[in-house]
Amino acid sequence: MHHDASRIHVLSIGGSLVVPKQGIDITFLKALRRFVVKEVNRGKRFILVIGGGMTARRYQHAANAVVKLDDEDVDWLGIHATRINAHLLRTIFRDIALHKVIKDPSRKLFWNKQVLIAAGWKPGWSTDYIAVRLAKRFGVKRVINLSNIDCVYDRDPYLHEGAKKITAIAWKDFRKIVGSTWEPGANAPFDPIASKLAEKEKMEVLVAGKDLANVTKMINGSAFRGTRIYSS
């Protein structure tokens, strides 16, 4: 099946938006469904890649409270959390989404619906990385990152009160901020390994926060709030 890359929008959705500390955010899920259905009716298609959120954190914390986990097992718990979150989205979008969650972006797939939903793959690769892999696969040159981080800052805003917002930044400078290694459960605006691949493929990533009206502006090419990470 031919896929028109100009109609496809790849969203890497932080799991904390779907499952924050308070539990599953039904209000956000309703808003996400309204947003996607509205844009699908305008001819757009979506790849939604979902993170683990508090589902992952709770399992990881519980296991670590019993025994000291190695990084691979921490990662696997996170991966399976992304998968249950992705199945939640699949049921919500059942009428317009492929009836299967994509867990391996390298495998052949037949995408004949308006929405594709993907989750974690294997240790060492975040869902941001999966989003970049799928964007590459379908010839899409932009990934929109939704999370509880509304933009890129020059320092961690949770640790530094004077952290400054950045509206645009080249990959080489962004990677100086986030480093070069992936840690399970890390809270970077966009994962370092995914960043490396996105830079190599000359993609841009838009860091959007969670305001879906703002995301609408992004996909329609209007001025938006957030950060554009670009190839220099």
pLDDT in tens, 86-110: 999 999 999 999 999 999 999 998 9
CA 11-138-30 angle, 5° bins: 25
Question: Among 8-12, 160-164, 179-183, which range has the highest average pLDDT?
Answer: 8-12
The pTM of this model reads 0.94
Per-residue tokens: 149: 């981080």
Mean pLDDT score across all residues of the chain: 93
Mean pLDDT (whole number) for 53-80: 95
Buried b (16+ CB within 10 A) or exposed e, 76-106: bbbbbbbbbbbebbbebbeebbbeebbbebe
Instruction: With a cut of 60, say whether residue 1 has pLDDT above it.
Output: no
Instruction: With a cut of 60, say whether residue 78 has pLDDT above it.
Output: yes
Least confident of 4-18, 28-42, 130-144, 155-169: 155-169
Say how many domains are in the chain.
1
| pLDDT at residue number 157 | 79
Could you report how far apart the first and last alpha carbons of the chain are, in Å?
33
Please tell me what DSSP assigns to residue 164: P
- Residue ranges in 67-139 assigned as alpha helix (H): 71-92, 127-137
Domain residues for the domain of 199 are 5-230
For residue 58, the number of C-alpha atoms closer than 13 Å in the C-beta half-sphere is 13
Q: Are 94 and 78 in contact (CB under 8 A)?
A: no
| Residue 123 pLDDT level (bands cut at 50, 70, 90) | very high
| pLDDT at residue number 183 | 66
Q: Are 77 and 56 in contact (CB under 8 A)?
A: yes
Strand-pairing partners, residue 116, are 47
| Residue 129 pLDDT level (bands cut at 50, 70, 90) | very high
Q: How far is CA 210 from CA 68, 148, 150, 181, 189, in A?
A: 34, 6, 7, 25, 13
CATH for 100: 3.40.1160.10
Report pLDDT digits (tens) over 177-228. 888 776 665 567 888 999 999 999 999 999 989 999 999 999 999 999 999 9
Contacts of 42 (CB under 8 A, 6+ apart): none
Beta-carbon neighbour count of residue 182 at 10 Å? 22
Strand-pairing partners, residue 57, are none
Least confident of 23-27, 124-128, 158-162, 204-208: 158-162
